[in-house]
Amino acid sequence: MAATLIEYRHEFAGHCGSGALRDLTEWAGIRFDDRPPDEGLVFALGGALGFSYMRSSTLPSPIYLVGRSTDLEDEYLRRIGARFEARATDDADLGWKWVTEQLDAGTPVMVWADIAELPYLRARLSMSRHDVVIVGYDDVREVAYVVDNDRDEVQAVPYRNLRRARASTGFPIATKHTTYIVEWPTSVPDLRLACGSAFLRSADVMDGARPGPPIADMHSCEVEATGLAGVAAFAADMKEWPLLFDDDALETTLFALSAFIQKAGTGGGLFRTLQAQGCRTIAESFDYEPARRVEQAAMTVSRLWTAVAGIAYDPQTAPRRKAADAATLAAQLPAAERLLAEALREAGEGLARA
């Protein structure tokens, strides 16, 4: 087939993974309480709340942090009963064949693409594990039609750009033309069971009982930790930044921190908000009070992270003052994150007993 374009409804989303999965779930006709899930519910059902922190002189910026586990996509698809395969290859032609076979069959395809190679994003730094959905292609124009959480409209991406984006060896891992081949379920699982499993998964990730795959292919880090231990390591490490960096490097690190918390690495603010939104939907669906407690705990942590980001970003304050103030506030994060993990476990165990 020389060209095809699938009819596909898209909603602007906060995060690439949960946004892509939300759209795909609606396209597949899956409903909870007779309506498609919102992004928050998708994130919560992914059992993906997590935390990883690393500091290394080999990083594009001195630090990196992310507030979800690496297997959100896989966990969500399993939890709703989808059968899937995440295929990867170094052969660009084979990777594109996987995509076009699905599109020709009328199925939109989620793939990984490096944001630095997507022309509509104009990104300067590499982020190779960015989920986009391809909904069509045109061999005459040599463009693929791409849906991205960060853009309202379908984007026409030249084949050459998309090929580079899918062949990236940039940060955090090689993209390897990763393509999700999904057989969507014809019925949905019991929402209570799915939520219970997801809550316990997130609690286990934060407690360190079920660590997921590493967030990046790194061979040397000065500091690296995950889950609640990662939050504690981050808060402790922040106090050392003024000793480790000169003013310029400290300013760069603080700017990166603000971006990672709220957007680029969604280290705390966004993902905790999505978790809260999903828990609100869950609590309303079957009047489950423990889910409301998770919502409240998640919003408390989200506000703390956002406040840290605000201090780190403030252009009117000297970097060492910002670093000290942000570290003081960040010292509250380990206890708040632990309360969130405990609330997740309580909610999950309650549903498991029901």
Instruction: Note the pLDDT tens digit of each residue in 194-205.
Output: 999 999 999 999
Nearest to 80 by CA among 178, 179, 198: 198
Residue 268 scores a pLDDT above 70: no
| Averaged pLDDT for residues 166-174 | 91
List helix spans (H) across 124-268. 159-166, 191-207, 227-238, 241-244, 247-262
Residue pair 12/38 in contact by the 8 Å Cβ criterion? no
pLDDT digits (tens, 9 = 90+) for 286-308: 999 999 999 999 999 999 999 99
Q: Is the peptide bond before 172 cis (omega within 30 degrees of 0)?
A: yes
Radius of gyration of the chain (CA): 20
Confidence of residue 267 (pLDDT cuts 50, 70, 90): low
**How much of the chain, in percent, has pLDDT values that exceed 70?**
95
Residue pair 178/74 in contact by the 8 Å Cβ criterion? no
**How much of the chain, in percent, has pLDDT values that exceed 90?**
80
Q: Out of 56-60, 89-93, 131-135, pick the least confident.
A: 56-60
CA–CA dist 289, 81 (Å, integer): 26
The residues, ordered by sequence, that sit 6+ positions from 342 with a Cβ below 8 Å of its Cβ are 203
Confidence of residue 171 (pLDDT cuts 50, 70, 90): confident
- The average confidence (pLDDT) of the chain is 93
Q: Assign 291 to helix, strand or coil.
A: helix
User: What pLDDT is stored for residue 213 in this prediction?
Assistant: 67
CA–CA dist 75, 81 (Å, integer): 10
Q: Out of 21-30, 64-73, 84-93, 258-267, pick the least confident.
A: 258-267
- 286-343-23 Cα angle (round to 5): 55
| Averaged pLDDT for residues 331-350 | 98
Q: Both tokens of residue 224?
A: 């690296």
User: What pLDDT is stored for residue 217 in this prediction?
Assistant: 65
Confidence of residue 266 (pLDDT cuts 50, 70, 90): low
| Averaged pLDDT for residues 5-13 | 96
User: What pLDDT is stored for residue 172 in this prediction?
Assistant: 85
User: What pLDDT is stored for residue 264 in this prediction?
Assistant: 60
CA–CA dist 175, 212 (Å, integer): 18
| Averaged pLDDT for residues 160-164 | 98
Confidence of residue 192 (pLDDT cuts 50, 70, 90): very high
pTM exceeding the 0.75 threshold for the entire prediction: yes
User: What pLDDT is stored for residue 311 in this prediction?
Assistant: 96
CA–CA dist 83, 339 (Å, integer): 34
- 162-165-166 Cα angle (round to 5): 90
pLDDT digits (tens, 9 = 90+) for 212-241: 666 666 667 889 899 999 999 999 999 999
User: What pLDDT is stored for residue 265 in this prediction?
Assistant: 53
